[in-house]
């Protein structure tokens, strides 16, 4: 799903409306963070019968849905050479 640039600056109610829409469209497939946690295995996720984990980058919105998970920290190497990628990977633990 593509979210237009600038959406993150919308008011809380707009985010809640988006969450409600996502729940109405995807609810039968969304894994609840009440049942699982980031340390859950894929077998545990599959055992719930649900397949989607919906992470949201606005922490204050998480309280509106048990199907929203905290944002995932994204690491991007943006490397074009093997040695640059290796340097990036070695430095991940330093962050």
Structure confidence by residue, pLDDT tens digits, 74-93: 777 777 888 888 888 887 76
Residue 5 lies in a domain: no
Residue 49 lies in a domain: yes
Q: What is the pLDDT of residues 24-60, one digit of tens each?
A: 999 889 999 888 888 888 898 889 898 888 888 888 8
Q: Is 68 exposed, middle or buried (0-12, 13-18, 19+ CB in 10 A)?
A: buried
Instruction: Report pTM.
Output: 0.65
Domain around 32: 10-94
Angle in degrees, CA 20, 8, 34, rounded to 5: 45
Number of domains into which the chain is organized: 1
């Amino acid at each position: 799903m593509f979210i237009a640039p600038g959406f993150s600056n919308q008011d809380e109610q707009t985010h809640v409306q988006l969450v409600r829409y996502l729940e109405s469209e995807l609810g039968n497939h969304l894994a609840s963070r009440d049942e699982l946690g980031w340390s859950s295995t894929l077998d545990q996720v599959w055992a719930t019968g649900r397949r989607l984990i919906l992470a949201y980058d606005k922490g204050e919105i998480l309280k509106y849905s048990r199907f929203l998970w905290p944002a995932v920290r994204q690491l991007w190497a943006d490397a074009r050479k093997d040695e640059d990628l290796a340097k990036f990977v070695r430095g991940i633990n330093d962050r």
